[in-house]
């Protein structure tokens, strides 16, 4: 039964697509998506000299956030909300469905066709990333911050480090950045890599740009660096996706950004990995969003 959240959607088929996807996960069935190249690369060579032990971010001072649920082992005491609801699949098993409209949901869809609502949305309980290399002054939601620490720890275990380039940005900060790029490059080019205000995942607190070297910071050559190759191979294991994959611009609206990671939770990132789905639009049953409507 459609939730009020989805009833407001202009895409009535969306929920069924999501449920179908979740059922696909629950029963191990494929969705048949044909996804663009993900740009996946072989495992990187460790670079021991880059290892840099740092303290985890402070997460004690913020409200507790429910960890992503295992859809196959739902606890009946799990606190449910509009953000995360439960549907029953064809085998009468409970499947957790997260909202794609509510920006407090890790499945929220933000692209050129789906601006944030409200447009001035500010996440509550953002957590400092000061414990990560380059993370001073940067913040994410508590759940994403914890997952980023997991990702960093796994990178360190493989002889790498992970530096933060940019995380949460307010609507105003995004607007200023977008204006700067438009004046520098012109709107047509700037909007292949920079979102308008209220259209950026960075405003949700669920997205982070990571980097390895200053030379390839927020540049496509990051994909060929040790961390870039490692991210392409392992980010999904910790609930992250490379949100703008190589060759995905006709679906996502953005050129390849191997550095821009979006937290979606391990359940969804694992399904996308196993089924070869490289864009969030396809994973959640959204139409391609190559351009703004106006």
Using CB under 5 A, list all residues that contact Zn ion. 209, 260
* Min CB(93)–Zn ion separation in Å: 36
**105 vs 166 by CB, closer to Zn ion:** 166
Tokens 């049953």, residue? Answer: 285
- 262 contacts 178 by C-beta, under 8 angstroms: no
**105 vs 200 by CB, closer to Zn ion:** 200
Cα–Cα distances in angstroms (integers) from residue 91 to residues 24, 26, 126, 271, in the given order: 11, 9, 38, 19
* Min CB(9)–Zn ion separation in Å: 25
Residue nearest to Zn ion (CB): 260
**258 vs 285 by CB, closer to Zn ion:** 258
* Min CB(234)–Zn ion separation in Å: 19
**15 vs 208 by CB, closer to Zn ion:** 208
* Min CB(4)–Zn ion separation in Å: 31
Cα–Cα distances in angstroms (integers) from residue 116 to residues 29, 131, 207, 224, in the given order: 32, 29, 14, 32
Cα–Cα distances in angstroms (integers) from residue 154 to residues 161, 205, 267, in the given order: 9, 21, 18
**152 vs 260 by CB, closer to Zn ion:** 260
* Min CB(25)–Zn ion separation in Å: 27
**77 vs 214 by CB, closer to Zn ion:** 214
Beta carbons within 8 Å of 294's beta carbon, 6+ residues apart? none
* Min CB(293)–Zn ion separation in Å: 22
What is the per-residue burial (b if ≥16 Cβ within 10 Å, else e) of 203-224?
A: bbbbbbbbbbeeebbeebebbe
Q: State how far the Cα of 166 lies from the Cα of 140, in Å rounded to an integer.
A: 10
- For residue 250, give the nearest of 212, 278, 274, 225 by alpha carbon: 278
**22 vs 110 by CB, closer to Zn ion:** 110
Q: State how far the Cα of 53 lies from the Cα of 55, in Å rounded to an integer.
A: 7
Q: Which residues pair with 149 in a beta bridge?
A: none
* Min CB(260)–Zn ion separation in Å: 4
């Amino acid at each position: 039964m459609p939730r009020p959240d989805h009833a407001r959607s202009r895409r009535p088929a969306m929920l069924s697509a999501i449920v179908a996807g979740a059922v696909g996960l629950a029963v191990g069935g494929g969705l048949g998506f044909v996804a663009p190249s993900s740009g996946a690369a072989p495992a990187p060579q460790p670079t021991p000299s880059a290892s840099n032990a740092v303290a985890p971010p402070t997460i004690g001072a913020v409200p507790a956030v429910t960890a992503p649920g295992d859809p196959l082992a739902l606890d009946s005491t799990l606190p449910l909300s509009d953000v995360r609801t439960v549907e029953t699949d064809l085998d009468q098993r409970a499947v957790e469905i997260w909202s794609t409209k509510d920006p407090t949901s890790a499945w929220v869809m933000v692209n050129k066709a789906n601006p944030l609502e409200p447009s001035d949305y500010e996440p509550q309980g953002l957590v400092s990333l000061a414990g990560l290399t380059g993370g001073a002054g940067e913040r994410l939601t508590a759940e994403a911050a914890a997952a980023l620490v997991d990702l960093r720890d796994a990178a360190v275990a493989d002889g790498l480090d992970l530096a933060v380039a940019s995380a949460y940005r307010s609507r105003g900060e995004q607007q200023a950045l977008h204006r700067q790029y438009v004046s520098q490059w012109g709107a047509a080019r700037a909007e292949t890599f920079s979102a308008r205000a209220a259209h950026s995942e960075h405003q949700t607190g669920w997205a982070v740009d990571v980097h390895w070297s200053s030379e390839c910071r927020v540049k496509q050559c990051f994909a060929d660096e040790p961390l870039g190759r490692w991210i392409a191979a392992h980010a999904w294991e910790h609930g992250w996706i490379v949100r703008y994959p190589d060759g995905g611009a006709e679906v996502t609206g953005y050129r390849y950004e191997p550095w821009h990671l979006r937290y979606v939770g391990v359940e969804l990132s694992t399904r996308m990995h196993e089924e070869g789905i490289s864009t969030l639009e396809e994973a959640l049953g959204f139409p391609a969003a190559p351009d703004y409507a106006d």
